[in-house]
Amino acid sequence: MSEAIRTEIYADNAATTKMSDAAIEAMLTVMKEQYGNPSSLYSVGQNAKEILEKAREEIASVINASPSEIIFTSGGSEADNQAIRSAAETGRKNGKMHIISTAFEHHAVLHTLKRLESEGFEVTLLDVHEDGIVRVEELEKAIREDTCLVTVMFANNEIGTIQPIREIGAVCRAKGVLFHTDAVQAVGHVPIDVKELNVDMLSSSAHKFHGPKGIGFLYAKKGVRITNLIEGGAQEGGKRAGTENVAAVAGMAAALKETASRMTENAAHMTEMRDRLIDGLIKIPHSALNGDRARRLPGNTNFCFEGIEGESLLLLLDDRGICASSGSACTSGSLDPSHVLLAIGRVHDVAHGSLRLTVGEDITAEQVDYMIRNVTEVVEYLRSFSPVWRDLMSGKTQFIL
Ligand SMILES: *Cc1c(COP(=O)(O)O)cnc(C)c1O
């Protein structure tokens, strides 16, 4: 195959997505024509302000929030930090310094909680079980008099499992505890109605739904006290200082409007392709799907293959034009196995041989079949000279999967 017609299948949509044409066009228009500062009073500034507020309305309507409940941030990480820090600050004032979360959250949540622990907070991390789903009964039992926040992600970024958000929201509401959800993987991909779900705070990031990188938003229900991480001017209702990234906000709104309008068709197609991929990969001997098969994001596939090293798998797949991941982009490059896979009970050796393929809306059946064929071949090839595999085959060590 010549370089010019080299296959390229982008199957890492959980790490980031390709920007949509609608998002790019919206950004270009702003960058070329709406260059004013939204805080300026002359019309060039007010035009930019109008773009900003129209985007806020469009974004709010997708999750059934009010525009005044949307705070633009630099992305999902900032939104997570701000939500958790805000709840912690309120908690500290009320003498409530206990927070509940789960063991498989994104590091933007886990590292913020670690920091709060060093500042005197107590954190309970719930088990997510083998299927990658939090149990609502266990969460309910963990809530104490001094609990100030429950933060549970909507859908996991590595294994795609979708959490019982509505039930968790109901429990938190009944107990009067603030509920935040990191919905970065869910917004634009699954229907979200913050009122129906009883969510108090929700984090989102544009680059996970075909918008630009470096922009996101925090939904904070009216009445929830938000403290700012960045001090300065009075932008974003005084909750997030700094001149707004108008172009990125416009790009985010355009991307979200488009993905939200096609959500049902997209989800149906991606689910079909995901299931085809799972059915093909599960045939590889000594492999296992990570996370519940049905309660997962439409595009997420995550497997463990015994006797191989995830990193070598990724490099060989790259040679064959497949962009894949062994887990989250934030942990690749480190040799530690994924904290998500460890949280669902995979042992170190097995967790090392993981592969995440997250397909997008435009994936085809031919591309899925190409991935099945090539992953199968590469796993077989890597096992052919793996000492770990040899020991497993000779019976010197026991298979786990
Ligand atoms: C990508 C991601 C984040 C971080 O979002 P950024 O915009 O990259 O900061 C947080 N949480 C989850 C679940 C994610 O997938």
Which atom of ligand 1 is nearest to 76's Cα?
5
- Of 261, 278, 305, the residue that ends a domain is 261
Which atom of ligand 1 is nearest to 79's Cα?
9
What residue type is 144 in one-letter code?
A: R
Q: How far is the CA of 16 from the centre of ligand 1 (A)?
A: 9
Same domain, 302 and 239: no
DSSP 3-state of 150: strand
Structure tokens at 124: 């309970």
Q: For the beta carbon of residue 239, count every other beta carbon within 10 angstroms.
A: 19
* CA–centroid distance for 158 within its chain: 8
Domain ranges, residue 147: 21-261
Residues 6+ apart with CB under 8 A from 106: 76, 77, 80, 153, 157, 182, 184, 328, 330
d(CA 153, CA 165): 8
Report if residue 293 sits inside a domain. yes
Q: Whose CA is nearest to atom 12 of ligand 1?
A: 184
DSSP 3-state of 96: coil
Q: Are 298 and 267 in contact (CB under 8 A)?
A: yes
Same domain, 220 and 281: no
Domain count of the fold of the chain: 2
Burial zone of 166 (CB within 10 Å; 0-12 exposed, 13-18 middle, 19+ buried)? middle
Q: How far is the CA of 212 from the centre of ligand 1 (A)?
A: 13
Partners of 259 in beta bridges: none
Q: Whose CA is nearest to atom 3 of ligand 1?
A: 76
Q: Any catalytic annotation for residue 172?
A: no
Which atom of ligand 1 is nearest to 75's Cα?
7
Q: Per-residue pLDDT for the chain (401 aa), expressed as one digit of tens each?
A: 445 567 899 999 999 999 999 999 999 999 999 999 999 999 999 999 999 999 999 999 999 999 999 999 999 999 999 999 999 999 999 999 999 999 999 999 999 999 999 999 999 999 999 999 999 999 999 999 999 999 999 999 999 999 999 999 999 999 999 999 999 999 999 999 999 999 999 999 999 999 999 999 999 999 999 999 999 999 999 999 999 999 999 999 999 999 999 999 999 999 999 999 999 999 999 999 999 999 999 999 999 999 998 889 999 999 999 999 986 544 444 567 899 999 999 988 888 889 999 999 999 999 999 999 999 999 999 999 999 999 999 999 999 99
Q: Would strands 122-126 and 147-151 be described as parallel, antiparallel, or unpaired? A: unpaired
Of the candidates 138, 78, 148, 75, the residue with the CA atom closest to the CA atom of residue 102: 138
Report if residue 90 sits inside a domain. yes
Residue 71 sits in a domain whose CATH number is 3.40.640.10
Q: Whose CA is nearest to atom 10 of ligand 1?
A: 76
Same domain, 293 and 251: no
d(CA 124, CA 113): 10
Of the listed 148, 304, 323, 330, which one is catalytic?
330
Residue 286 sits in a domain whose CATH number is 3.90.1150.10
Report if residue 379 sits inside a domain. yes
Report if residue 16 sits inside a domain. no
Cβ < 6 A, ligand 1 pocket: 75-77, 80, 106, 108, 153, 157, 182, 184-185, 205, 208, 216
Which atom of ligand 1 is nearest to 214's Cα?
7
- Of 224, 239, 261, the residue that ends a domain is 261
- Of 197, 229, 261, the residue that ends a domain is 261
Q: How far is the CA of 77 from the centre of ligand 1 (A)?
A: 6
Best probe residue, ligand 1, of 207, 208, 245 (max atoms within 8 Å of C-beta): 208
Q: Are 304 and 346 in contact (CB under 8 A)?
A: yes
